[in-house]
Amino acid sequence: MSKKDKTGAAFDLNLIGRIVRLAKPYRSQFFLAIGLTVLLTALAPLRPVLVQRTIDIHIAAKNADGIVLYSSFILIHILFQTLVLFLHTYITNLLGQNVIKDLRIRVFKHILSLRKRFFDHSKVGTLVTRSVSDIETVSSFFSQGLISIIGDVAQLVVVLVVMFVQDWQLSLVALSVLPVLLIASEFFRRGVRKSFQQVRTQVSKLNAFVQEHIVGMDVVQIFGKQRQEFEKFEKINRGHLEAFKKSIFYYSIYFPIVEILSSVAIGLIIWWSARSIGVDSSPGMIISFYMFISMIFRPIRTIADRFNTMQMGMVASERIFELVDDQTDVERGGELKRELNGNIEFDNVVFEYVENDPVLKGVSFKVEQGHSLAIVGATGAGKSSIISLITRLYDIKSGSISIDGYPLQDYELESLRKQVSVVLQDVFLFAGSVEENVQLKNKALSLEQMKWAAEEIGAQSFIENLPDQWQYDVKERGGSLSVGQRQLISFIRALAFDPKVLILDEATSSVDSETEELIQEATKRLMKNRTSIVIAHRLSTIREADQIIVLDRGQIVERGSHQELLDFGGSYYQLFQKQFELS
């Protein structure tokens, strides 16, 4: 197992303390749960004592009034204990749910704050496990773990004290099997803990695998990889089953042992009482001890299970804390909030995704306010990396990037990104209406502004032809729309915010010729008086750019206008000739 799978020490007091502190906003519920636990502990041994006195005093003396009175006491005790148990169960579960509600918000908020670099090396399924399954396990720490263990241990202590006060010899006889039970419980706790850790690991693997393959189902089906991918799934699923089978094995051994030892203890009580009945023991005493044995063995049996529940909560919480405590990949912006003019400058910028493997090698260029820059080059030349740096999805290794003369890192991230609109080649739409996908929950953006952007793009007729127009459900990832339609919505989304800087990253590569022509006419109007950066494979779309730079393996090899680069006869000319021949 990995290092993460070996965490969750049996008694990590620091970790327990940190988990308990999660309940601080709900301290009243926490202390109420503790109080109800103490009350249940006090109520537990009362019923056997009442039963003993009813039998030995009133039934033996055939005292009808006394029998009715004590029977009433027993009934009241049962009803009151049931009420307290209901409140205890409700409060502990409510406490657990309140804690995980806050924790889930904290985890997701942290995930939203992470840099793009973090998601490059993190599996989606693992993050889903941390945000959902692991957090649910933390809830069990409160509802079925710590508080319940405190109650069970307290009940054991109280019952044992009452038993020894009642009859210390009979108590020793009844508890003679206890060492064997404790040893069995310890073996069970350790075994189940290890198997549960393996189960959590397999659940994480299953989530990651299923998430990845559902998203990439088109690729799996197009390349006919269903059988191979199913075999991989079967292997992971089999690992999950084997991990569960181990825990089932421990349960199937442990619970029969507990039942056998419980029966042995009862048999010893009957045997001892038969030798001494009428001297030290009475019928009421025997029955009360029978009830006491049940009160002892049931908590011991559940304590082992609850310890594992608590430990799995600790394992899950440690993984969650490891995620939220890691501030390495948290986005950090400056405090500068200002309206952009759009003067962008790269000065000897070096950038790398992987250490010592630079993608951009000393790139320098300027884009003046209201002007346009086009970037061309082969796949992997570093074009899209430039876009990611301007929006600060990544940070540079060396050099500098400035906007309007201010270092990019000085800008407050939200302020910066509100003024820079990006249209990507791979458009992502959320499940929901067209309006929601354009607005992105920004209430400041009115429907009138969205309609204006649609008209500017020339996409208003496309939206009006949808069944519910702006309220049309695009489904998950925009599955109910064509690639071109999704691209049009992304254009509307980018332009509706009236950005100071407009970035088009292969924005027309996935649309048909008619749609491309429509978008090109719209972008000409929208790029006017706006700083614009355009990345395109189709060189015909960037002829009117004020400046064109050609990237090759992370370096600028040519720059100039369209005609200047053609006259130069270098890389740009060769690219243009190839596309012209193909067309």
How far does Cα 65 stand from its chain's mean position? 62
Q: Cβ(329)–Cβ(115) under 8 Å?
A: yes
**Is it the case that residue 422 has pLDDT exceeding 60?**
yes
Residues of the chain with CATH 1.20.1560.10: 3-325
Other C-beta atoms closer than 10 Å to the C-beta of 527 total: 20
**Is it the case that residue 365 has pLDDT exceeding 90?**
yes
Q: Mean pLDDT throughout 493-500? A: 82
Instruction: Work out the pLDDT band at 8, boundaries 50, 70, 90.
Output: very low
pTM above 0.75, yes or no: no
User: 384-420, pLDDT tens digit by residue?
Assistant: 889 889 988 888 999 999 999 999 999 998 889 888 8
Residues of the chain with CATH 3.40.50.300: 344-582
Distance between CA 572 and CA 551 in Å, rounded? 10
Q: What is the pLDDT of residue 451?
A: 86
Structure tokens belonging to residue 416: 């910066």
Q: What is the pLDDT of residue 368?
A: 92
Those residues with Cβ within 8 angstroms of residue 100's Cβ, 6 or more apart along the chain or in another chain: 135, 136, 138, 139
Q: What is the pLDDT of residue 306?
A: 76
Q: Cβ(520)–Cβ(549) under 8 Å?
A: no
**Is it the case that residue 344 has pLDDT exceeding 90?**
yes
Query: What CATH superfamily is the domain 3-325?
Result: ABC transporter type 1, transmembrane domain (1.20.1560.10)
Fold annotation for 344-582? Rossmann fold (3.40.50)
Q: Cβ(225)–Cβ(216) under 8 Å?
A: no
* pLDDT > 70: percent of the chain: 91
User: 513-539, pLDDT tens digit by residue?
Assistant: 666 676 676 667 677 778 989 887 777
Q: Cβ(309)–Cβ(19) under 8 Å?
A: no
Between the CA of residue 109 and those of 102, 131, 324, 563, what are the distances in Å? 11, 11, 9, 49
* pLDDT > 90: percent of the chain: 12
Distance between CA 478 and CA 78 in Å, rounded? 58
For the residues of 116-144, what is the DSSP string, one character each?
A: HHHHHSS-HHHHHHHHTHHHHHHHHIIII
Distance between CA 180 and CA 258 in Å, rounded? 10
Residue that has been written with the tokens 């029978």 in this structure: 290
Q: What is the pLDDT of residue 462?
A: 81
